[in-house]
Structure 1
Amino acid sequence: MGWAVKMKELMKIAFLLPSLKNLGPIIVVKDIIDGLLKNKNVSVTVFYFDDFKEDILDFSVNCIKISFFHKFDFNGFDIIHTHGIRPDLYTKIHKFDSFLISTQHNVIYDEYIINNSFLKTKAIESIWKFALTNKNLVISIGGTASNYYRKLLPNNKVVNVPNGRTIANNQGYGCSEDDVAKIKVLKERYTCIGTCTRAIKLKGHAQIIQALPNLPDYCFVLIGDGGYIEFLKKLALDLKVDARCLFLGYRKNATEYLNLFDIYAQTSYTESISIALLEAAAAKKAVVCSLIPSNTDVFQENEVVFFNLDDIDSLTQAFLKARIYREVLETNIYKKYKAEYTSEVMIEKYHNLYKGLMNEI
């Protein structure tokens, strides 16, 4: 193969992304790159397809916009590391001599079945599978995802590298004064449930609002925007809990708000390893989260409180339990996070993986 050359002293890696938008998978890539750059023998360039005027991440490396329909000359790069279906397809349709790696930030079927028919979901899964078949290495995130991709891609090498996340703990000082004032007004009367995620059906926020009639001394704060936000607002109004719900919209510094919450809620129907969940753990929050395999891959019952999806009684009891055992949960989740899920732990695994690949070529 063209990449079977003597190992170089300088490792050149190209990351290929859909965009630079401030979303979970792109945040993971930025963290990986920031960590890799601490090594003098690593050179990184980011390539992407779509431009956005706002809500983009500031990368500390050269970022080059390319077209999906035109082959870019990646000659000289040892590794092309793709993230997302279009980057995966791009490196399938166009032929490259570099070592091809793809990180899968989801479980394809589980993510797309939420909003699509079975046939459409299977079609998307088949297209993505086609895009991955030429990859020298597929990286999954968590044990559940690993099992899925090993069955989907029996002829590919699949390696599990869990997400990691490290945040600045600034005690909410980066929040706007107006936002802080609104949250504090609610906290004077209620236990504050909060979450920082996009407002889409997959995230399961409606379950929190549906539980609020059973929790008269709780309120809900959502940091995030998306196509589901108006539905959530109407649901809160219909259930007469709108006075206890605060929808602040998108905030670039969303993690700054974590210290304002009493309990963090992660109610997703499907995830790989949730970046938002790891950020809550990093902020030492008591967490209530959905009982899905990807969450049980990461935390145990003494570290978070699980609830059964779409079981509002189960969710209600989970919030009550989290308040009672808040201090114990905060201690336990933070201990697990520091041991296994910091950015530093994740970056070391990726760096060792890259070095191992370079030793093979």
Structure 2
Amino acid sequence: MKILHLISGGETGGSRKHVVTLLSKFPKEQVCLAVFQEGALSQEAREAGIKVEIFEQKSRYDLTVLRRLANFINKEGFDILHTHGPRANFLTTFLVGKIKALWVTTIHSDPKLDFMKGGLKGRIFTKLNLWSYEKIDYFFAVSERFKNNLMDIGINEEKIQTIYNGIDFTEPVPVENALKTEFVISEDDFVMAFVARLHPVKGHDLVLKALKNLGNPKVKVLLVGSGPSYDEVEHLIKEFKLGAQVKMLGFRKDVSQILSISDVSLLASESESFPLVLLESANQEVPVITTDVGGVKELVKPEHGWIVPVGDQGGYERAMNQAIDEWQKGKLVDKGKALRKHAEENFSLKNLVSLTTETYKKLLKVKK
């Protein structure tokens, strides 16, 4: 069984982590990663010992790479082409009938929201993305909610398998005091880590408005991530006069270390699948405040943190205040330990790899 994973290559968020961690657990001769551009993903994949092929495009709309990609798939004898994301899905539609491999995709996000606030271009890309779904042989959904989303747009339930994300749980890294010094964080500061791509769907405006309304200068937020909304987020920080409380850190490889100095981890998205950052927070025994997206209710129970309805400004502020109150009383650490225990028992990388492998084998058996 040989599998080729195809993804844009420019990803810096959860889908990047998902692909690298998943492929790193397969035999090296069994899997290969194909991308359309060099970036953090291809670099990390190589460092993990994963074979990487680059099919560089002159632009996002360059279709000349398709012939070379099709030839590569057929020559190498891949049994399964596993795509991730709208760009890979759209381009693969042109390979249908030209490759022998079975086409599988993982749905990491709500396809109706992938291009939100993109205007006319966003609406066109959304339609093209949904059009590509008609050609796909099988779907992996990373939450039951996303499985239901697929069924709502007409995908047969028999063509969908829910496979939750997972990570290798390790000992929490020790507190990085050097980072506290770098970010000017004192012992009496309450620190919230917000690890998310800078994109409208991630809800940075909700968090910043909540922080402004708290009016507590001892509350600090570490924003980790890059993306198209950088200027908008920076503008809000200036408008709300939060420069002393919010650090924009950009893309970082030391997320675990940043979580180690944080008291709570934030997620404020309007749509998500099963966010890996919540599992990374669990690994560090950091409780979470999250909006009710994707499969978070499977992971976060009341004893692990707070779940707030999407877009509920008041609810998010109340959750922040409750977290601060529990921190001051010395109770917040218990939530983090309980989250770690629950996550480690139910959302391991071992489970992800096992179910993925079983599904691949089932699909190939049916194909024969």
**Which TM-score tier does this pair reach, normalised by the shorter chain?**
0.7 to 0.9
Residue in 1 aligned with 2:163? 161
Distance 1:169 1:55, change over 3 A: farther
Match of 2:106 among 79, 94, 103: 103
**What is the distance in 2 between the residues matched to 1:358 and 1:347?**
17
Residue in 2 aligned with 1:127? 128
Structure 1 residue 110 displacement after superposition: 2.9
**What is the distance in 2 between the residues matched to 1:274 and 1:53?**
19
The aligned amino acid for 2:345 is A
- Does structure 1 residue 64 correspond to structure 2 residue 67? no
Q: 8 Å contact 1:21–1:57 — kept in the other structure? A: no
- Does structure 1 residue 186 correspond to structure 2 residue 175? no
Provide the aligned length of Structure 1 versus Structure 2.
Answer: 343
What is the percent sequence identity of the aligned residues?
19
Distance 1:176 1:54, change over 3 A: farther
**What is the distance in 2 between the residues matched to 1:55 and 1:81?**
16
Residue in 2 aligned with 1:12? 2
Distance 1:126 1:206, change over 3 A: closer
**What is the distance in 1 between the residues matched to 2:300 and 2:246?**
28
Q: 8 Å contact 2:237–2:243 — kept in the other structure? A: yes
Residue in 1 aligned with 2:279? 278
Residue in 2 aligned with 1:28? 18
**What is the distance in 2 between the residues matched to 1:92 and 1:238?**
44
Q: 8 Å contact 2:45–2:51 — kept in the other structure? A: no
Residue in 2 aligned with 1:5? none
Match of 1:45 among 32, 39, 44: 32
Distance 1:143 1:298, change over 3 A: farther
The aligned amino acid for 2:180 is V
Structure 2 matches for 1:102-251, cutoff 5 A? 102-113=105-116, 115-117=117-119, 123-155=124-156, 157-166=159-168, 168-169=170-171, 171=173, 177=178, 179-183=179-183, 185-213=184-212, 214-216=214-216, 217-251=218-252
Structure 2 matches for 1:288-303, cutoff 5 A? 288-303=289-304
**What is the distance in 1 between the residues matched to 2:161 and 2:296?**
19
What secondary structure does 1:112 align onto?
Answer: coil
Structure 1 residue 233 displacement after superposition: 3.4
Residue in 1 aligned with 2:340? 334
Q: 8 Å contact 2:190–2:219 — kept in the other structure? A: yes
Q: Which moved more, 1:326-335 or 1:261-270?
A: 326-335
Q: Which moved more, 1:150-159 or 1:72-81?
A: 150-159
Distance 1:135 1:311, change over 3 A: closer
Residue in 1 aligned with 2:320? 319
Q: 8 Å contact 1:21–1:55 — kept in the other structure? A: no
Structure 1 residue 53 displacement after superposition: 8.0
Structure 1 residue 313 displacement after superposition: 2.8
Distance 1:353 1:172, change over 3 A: same
Distance 1:187 1:351, change over 3 A: farther
Superposed CA deviations along residues 224-261 of structure 1, whole A, max 9, x for unmatched, are 23333343333233333321222222212223211110
Q: 8 Å contact 1:108–1:125 — kept in the other structure? A: yes
What secondary structure does 1:289 align onto?
Answer: strand
Q: 8 Å contact 2:35–2:42 — kept in the other structure? A: no
**What is the distance in 1 between the residues matched to 2:32 and 2:210?**
46
Distance 1:176 1:137, change over 3 A: farther
**What is the distance in 1 between the residues matched to 2:323 and 2:129?**
39
Q: 8 Å contact 1:102–1:132 — kept in the other structure? A: no
**What is the distance in 2 between the residues matched to 1:297 and 1:168?**
21
**What is the distance in 2 between the residues matched to 1:35 and 1:301?**
32
Distance 1:241 1:85, change over 3 A: closer
TM-score relative to the length of structure 1: 0.85
- Structure 1 stretches of 5 or more lacking a match? 1-10
Structure 1 residue 172 displacement after superposition: 5.2
The aligned amino acid for 1:78 is D
Q: Which moved more, 1:339-348 or 1:59-68?
A: 59-68
**What is the distance in 2 between the residues matched to 1:314 and 1:92?**
42
Superposed CA deviations along residues 254-313 of structure 1, whole A, max 9, x for unmatched, are 232111101111111111111212211222111111133543344333322122344433
What secondary structure does 2:354 align onto?
Answer: helix
The aligned amino acid for 2:333 is E
CA RMSD of aligned residues (A): 2.6
